[in-house]
């Protein structure tokens, strides 16, 4: 059994995150509050703080429960979508990994909805305008999360197809010019980071809609 190149990149990104993030966390823990913050750790703190304040707008008092998994998904997607810059195969251009993200989003939304809102209230939410709409609401729960994974897949696959098109059509080193000025900035950095943020934001919104607490 061989590992597909997309899966290999995915595992590489996961290992990188597993190694890097605890180091950053340990550095923040050991920090002296009297000293000014310097270096790359400052960027990390700024980013996490901004994301936390973004999540807090949606969740109210539940934000500490949900911010770790949401930020983890965002970090993984941001690294995975820009991995083509380092000559690796893009993990999300493989439909199995993209649909895995659909399943992940579906499970996060449903399980957090069931735990925070208790099953009876959750079913009442699904029957909200009238009981006849219950099957349609169920379909919308499934289709929105499936669309999230398919959106990632389509964007990343179209990026790799255009990149391969440039490589195949142009002779030799001429293909370096469109790759440098068109393919990498637009498809890998631009669309990759935008899609990572869009997935993160949609997940945030759907989970906050599923748990809709009164005080939030």
Partner 1 sequence: MILLVEYNDFFVSGLAMLGAGIAMIGGLGSGIGQGIAAGKAVEAVGRQPEATGRITTTMLVGQAMAETTGLYSLIIAFVLIFTT
Distance CA 89, CA 182 (A): 18
Q: Which residues contact 107 (CB under 8 A, 6 or more apart)?
A: none
Unique residue bearing structure tokens 């607490």: 213
Select from 7, 17, 104, 150 the one that contacts partner 1 (CB under 8 A).
Answer: 150
Q: Compute the least distance from the CB of residue 154 to partner 1, in Å.
A: 3
Q: Compute the least distance from the CB of residue 17 to partner 1, in Å.
A: 24
For partner 1, give the closer residue by CB, 90 or 116: 90
Q: Which residues contact 145 (CB under 8 A, 6 or more apart)?
A: 102, 103, 105, 106, 109, 206
Select from 88, 104, 137, 154 the one that contacts partner 1 (CB under 8 A).
Answer: 154
The region of 117-125, 134-142, 149-157, 162-170 touching partner 1 under the rule CB under 8 A is 149-157
Distance CA 43, CA 36 (A): 13
Select from 96, 118, 158, 213 the one that contacts partner 1 (CB under 8 A).
Answer: 158
Quick check: 199 and 152 in contact, CB under 8 A? yes
Determine if 195 is a binding residue for partner 1 (CB under 8 A): yes
Determine if 151 is a binding residue for partner 1 (CB under 8 A): yes
The region of 58-66, 107-115, 151-159, 162-170 touching partner 1 under the rule CB under 8 A is 151-159
End-to-end Cα spacing for the chain: 49
Select from 7, 51, 88, 147 the one that contacts partner 1 (CB under 8 A).
Answer: 147
Distance CA 154, CA 133 (A): 30
Residues that bind partner 1 (CB under 8 A): 147, 150-151, 153-155, 157-158, 194-195, 197-198, 201
């Amino acid at each position: 059994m061989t590992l597909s190149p997309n899966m290999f990149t995915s595992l590489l990104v996961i290992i990188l995150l597993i190694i890097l993030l605890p180091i950053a966390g340990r550095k923040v823990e050991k920090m002296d509050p009297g000293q000014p913050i310097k270096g790359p750790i400052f960027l990390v703190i700024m980013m996490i703080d901004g994301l936390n304040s973004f999540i807090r707008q949606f969740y109210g008092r539940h934000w500490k429960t949900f911010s770790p998994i949401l930020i983890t998904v965002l970090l993984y997607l941001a690294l995975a979508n820009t991995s083509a810059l380092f000559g690796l195969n893009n993990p999300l251009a493989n439909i199995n990994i993209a649909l895995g993200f659909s399943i992940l989003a579906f499970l996060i939304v449903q399980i957090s909805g069931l735990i925070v809102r208790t099953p009876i209230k959750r079913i009442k939410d699904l029957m909200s305008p009238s009981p006849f709409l219950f099957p349609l609401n169920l379909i919308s729960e499934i289709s929105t999360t499936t669309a999230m994974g398919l959106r990632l897949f389509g964007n990343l696959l179209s990026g790799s197809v255009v990149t391969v098109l440039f490589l195949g059509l142009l002779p030799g080193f001429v293909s370096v010019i469109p790759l440098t000025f068109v393919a990498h900035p637009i498809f890998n950095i631009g669309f990759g980071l935008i899609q990572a943020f869009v997935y993160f934001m949609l997940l945030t919104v759907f989970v906050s809609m599923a748990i809709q607490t009164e005080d939030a």
